[in-house]
Chains A and B, each alone.
Chain A
Amino acid sequence: MSTTAVPDVAVAAVAEGFWTRNRKVGLVLLALGLLATVLFGALATGEQARFTLSEDAAGAALEVNGTVGAIVFGLIVLAAGGALLAGLPKRWFVPVLAAGLVAFVLSFLCWQVSAAPTGQNFMPLVNIVRGTFLLALPLIFGSLAGVLCERSGVVNVAIEGQLLMGAFSGALFGSISGSVWVGLVAAAIGGSLISLLLAVFSIRYLVDQVVMGIVLNLLAVGITGFLYERLMQTDAARYNSAPRFSNWEIPLLSDIPLLGPALFRGNIFLYLALLLVLVIHIALFRTRWGLRTRSVGEHPTAADTLGVRVLGLRYRNVVMAGAVAGIGGASYTLALFSFTKNMIGGKGFIALAALIFGRWSPTGALLAALFFGFADQLATYLGAINSVIPGQFLAMLPYLATILAVAGLVGRVRAPAADGKPYIKG
């Protein structure tokens, strides 16, 4: 993305001489490590910080003295930073950076858990992991929708609108028919309707795709809000009481400690999300459709020359993306809550962030979504133990991380080359 457009601008982005990107990141890690060791170590109490493998304080737990834990993990961060600064080979960059960041989070948690009010010095890991996946669900669906669109060269800023439309039509038609499955199909169709508008206007009428995305978001907010007030608010029993998918327990797998209760006792949407990541990953990188999609997103003229129907493929992918996002929206209304106005509340934009942070790949998007979900869940947990860290700052984390990623501070992100450029057959 970024660099190709403006050459004189790009020169500044390439680190040269002694201060390579590795060394800069190492320096940042050193600072974080210092912060962790000194500040977290000093603020942590001598209480045992317990990370229990269950939903409450009981059962097996990993225990560590708060102060000791905070300092030890802080020192690990320092070591990782020092290693990068000393000029570690490039292939070590990602693992060392990851280790450093994880250690930083652990040091932070040791401080927080040990400093919690008496009797609450524990962190129920099952709840945390389950919450992470639950909060990441709409993000996974949303960012997969983004992957499908943008890999074929159509910018999808309308994820928010697609999720919202999916949630709304899922709730509406689920309620009217009384069937979750009808709701699910309706949600997919609702999401793809918004997508279809995006496709028609950006592919057929060559409207700027970012503009169209923004406008479609507003349109979705308007239409669902309007119909919500007219139909659902006046007769909630008829229009806004969709049945809900129950949780399906997978035998054997659900008995795995920690991951079992979190991952294998979920509802259809959780399984569907993980399955979709796998399917889209394989389809994108191992099938003919995937090769064509990627070529259309990178160099449509070349693809066209080789006989790929560029516009047809784009239409198909964009509409499919809408269906995926629509199902993501239904993961709210057909499993958790009844529909309320503007209930997606910006999740679509976090999904967009996850897409970019995950570098336009399905697995990357999954990891980014989980990371953002974890930040969200952590904010809830810290709120529950009356932490001094305001939840709002944790809520900013996904957005800050994305800005850092886009600015090239943490790795380099690059969009498909033809992303956002309408293709005119000539």
Chain B
Amino acid sequence: MSDRNAQPGSPDKEPASEDQAGRTALGNTERAEAATTPGEPGPRPTLGRLFLENLWAANTFTVTLLSLVLAMVVGAILMIISDPEVLATYGYITARPSDAINASWTLVSEAYANLFKGSVFDPAATTVNAALSPISETLTYTAPLVFTGLSVALAFRGGLFNIGAQGQATMGVILAALAGFLLPLPPGLHLLVAVLAGALGGAIWGFVPGILKARTGAHEVINTIMLNYIAVYFLTWLIVQNGVQDPTRTDAISRPVDASAQLPRLFGDGLRAHAGIILAVLATWAVAWLLNRSTLGFELRAVGANPDAARTAGISVTRTYVLIMVFAGALAGLGGSQMVLGTTAAALTPLVVAQIGFDGILVALLGRVKPWGVALAALLFGALQAGGNRMQSYSGISLELVTVLQALIVIFIAAPALVKAIFQLRAARTARLQTSLAKGW
């Protein structure tokens, strides 16, 4: 753990450089301000002053940014302790500390530079395609995460914890793929039907825990966990059935989805970004509208805030629970459908949905269960994923590090009190940060 002191803040190539500049500056202003204004309403602060004050308070933005920084610091430590060559330099750190610091710095900075180049922009790119490629990769990974994140967030707002986005995405991918290679339909219609089939699959899988919760009170956390696995086993069984399995293959892979059912690419054939990201933005807008502007959204939030009060006010809690889960399932199913209709894969395999359902839970929490927040969080996770691929191939840092980073970010976000204590943030004036949601079982 000595490396934390050895190189303060070194791992964070891009966010920290500006953040650190801000930190020193802020440390000063904060101290100055604390000395001059001991509480009484002084002269009206300027806009810039207000901005600076809030920047170092425990508000959503600052905590999110600092969580990212903390996660990257831990990631850097993991990289260093798992690299025998760099670790060897720490054996004689008292004799020549520069060796250890240089070796660590090179390792960590290169890895995080690759993370950036793989997800945002590579300065060495010469062609237009190469320059767009990182963004295209990021958007490809982002699109399904937006849907699963929205699915989890929507359920949260209604007071339900949907751990089943993984299973719902699995059922979505199954129905979307089946519609994609079994139905002989004309191009435009085929895509539409396949996408809707995906939504239907997810909706069915969301309906089950919804109706069980409404009818018997069975806790949705338990049921959705169980349904996740049932869906996976169903998928592995289905793939090897006649008519589904690719007749030219002996391993577990289905026939590929017809070209007429695939989402069009956005930047030409060389890049993977597809129309799924446009659907994702539309879905975000739709969920935001549903939550904040529609009657159902109002009922949903009322039930989420206090089911007893909602019932007293004449809202049918059972009906709302079922609807929430159906909508959440449909969203997750749409996310799943992109895994075969997009450019990630064209056929069903046992691992076709990857982790998008579980990642969706993290995305929803990171996005503070608000639709546009979820979209941004999905963008961050998509970028980490895309950059992680480059980090793996160029720096030899396993892609698993991205999983670690993602989990850590959410841990820190979920415990703002910890981040606040580490960085000595002042209490925020607004925004209650605690994302307290479900109530156990």
Contact = CB atoms under 8 A, between A and B. Distances in A.
Contact of B218 (A2, A392, A421): A2
Contacts of A1: 217-219, 441
Contacts of B217: 1-3, 5-6, 9-10, 13, 408
A226 B418 CA distance: 25
Given A210-B163, A415-B441, A419-B440, A219 B407 contact: yes
Contacts of A393: 233, 237
Interface stretch (A162-170, A201-209, A266-274, A315-323): A201-209
Contact of B216 (A197, A356, A399, A408): A408
Interface string A186-228: 0000000000010001000111111110111111011101111
Contacts of A197: 411
Interface footprint category on A:
35 or more
Interface in A361-406: 390, 392-393, 395-396, 399-400, 402-403, 406
A60 B207 CA distance: 51
A46 interface: no
A210 B415 contact: no
Nearest to A209: B440
Given A207-B414, A210-B161, A218-B358, A406 B436 contact: no
A212 B436 CA distance: 11
Contact of B438 (A9, A208, A227): A208
A210 B219 CA distance: 12
A31 interface: no
Interface in A347-365: 349-350, 352-353, 356
Given A210-B438, A420-B440, A396 B414 contact: no
Interface stretch (B119-127, B221-229, B272-280): B221-229
A279 interface: no
B167 to A, nearest CB: 10
Contact of A420 (B405, B406, B438): B438
Contacts of B230: 396, 399-400
Given A8-B311, A407-B218, A399 B229 contact: yes
Interface in A330-360: 341, 346, 349-350, 352-353, 356
B226 A214 contact: no
B219 A227 contact: no
Contact of A211 (B223, B308, B361, B408): B361
Contact of B407 (A12, A205, A222, A403): A222
A392 B398 contact: no
A270 B160 CA distance: 39
A63 interface: no
B354 interface: no
Contacts of B7: none
B417 interface: yes
Interface string B353-370: 001001001100100000
A353 B224 CA distance: 12
B368 to A, nearest CB: 13
Contacts of A211: 361, 365, 414, 435, 437-438
Given A225-B398, A225-B400, A396-B234, A12 B216 contact: yes
B213 interface: yes
B436 A396 contact: no
A152 B400 CA distance: 33
A205 B219 contact: no
A201 B365 CA distance: 15
Contacts of A12: 215-216
A217 B355 CA distance: 12
Interface string B402-439: 11111110110011011000000000000000111111
Interface string B226-257: 11111001101100000000000000000000
B401 A399 contact: no
Contacts of A208: 414, 435-438
A421 B400 contact: no
A218 B407 contact: yes
B403 A230 contact: no
Contacts of B271: none
Given A215-B362, A215-B414, A392 B229 contact: no
B30 interface: no
A212 B408 CA distance: 11
B233 A392 contact: yes
Contact of B214 (A9, A216, A415): A9
B414 A406 contact: no
Contacts of A392: 233-234, 236-237
B352 to A, nearest CB: 16
A138 B228 CA distance: 20
Contacts of B311: 8
A56 interface: no
Contact of A230 (B82, B222, B441): B82
B400 A205 contact: no
A211 B411 CA distance: 9
Nearest to B434: A206
A421 B404 contact: no
Given A219-B408, A399-B229, A230 B398 contact: yes
Contact of A221 (B161, B361, B403): B403
B307 interface: yes
A255 interface: no
Interface string A260-296: 0000000000000000000000000000000000000
B318 interface: yes
B317 A9 contact: yes
Nearest to B209: A403
A98 interface: no
A8 B219 CA distance: 15
Interface string B182-223: 000000000000000000000000000000111111110111
Nearest to B226: A399
A229 B404 CA distance: 14
A214 B404 CA distance: 13
A175 B212 CA distance: 48
B349 to A, nearest CB: 15
Nearest to A219: B407
A155 interface: yes
Given A206-B434, A221-B403, A400 B226 contact: yes
B78 interface: yes
Contact of A8 (B226, B317, B441): B317
B83 interface: yes
B351 to A, nearest CB: 11
A223 B78 contact: yes
Given A218-B362, A226-B404, A5 B307 contact: yes
Contacts of B307: 5-6
Given A201-B411, A206-B436, A415-B441, 17 more contacts: A1-B218, A1-B441, A6-B317, A155-B441, A157-B221, A208-B414, A215-B407, A222-B401, A222-B405, A350-B229, A352-B225, A392-B236, A396-B229, A396-B233, A403-B222, A420-B438, A420-B440
17 contacts: A155-B440, A207-B411, A210-B438, A211-B438, A212-B414, A219-B404, A221-B403, A222-B403, A222-B406, A229-B400, A231-B82, A346-B229, A349-B225, A393-B233, A403-B223, A406-B212, A421-B439
Interface of B: 78, 82-83, 161, 163, 212-219, 221-223, 225-230, 233-234, 236-237, 307-308, 311, 317-318, 321, 355, 358, 361-362, 365, 398, 400-408, 410-411, 414-415, 417-418, 434-441
The 7 residue pairs across chains A and B that have the minimum distance between CB atoms: A420-B440, A222-B403, A2-B217, A225-B400, A222-B404, A392-B237, A219-B407
Interface of A: 1-3, 5-10, 12-13, 155, 157, 197, 201, 205-212, 214-219, 221-223, 225-231, 341, 346, 349-350, 352-353, 356, 390, 392-393, 395-396, 399-400, 402-403, 406-408, 415, 418-421
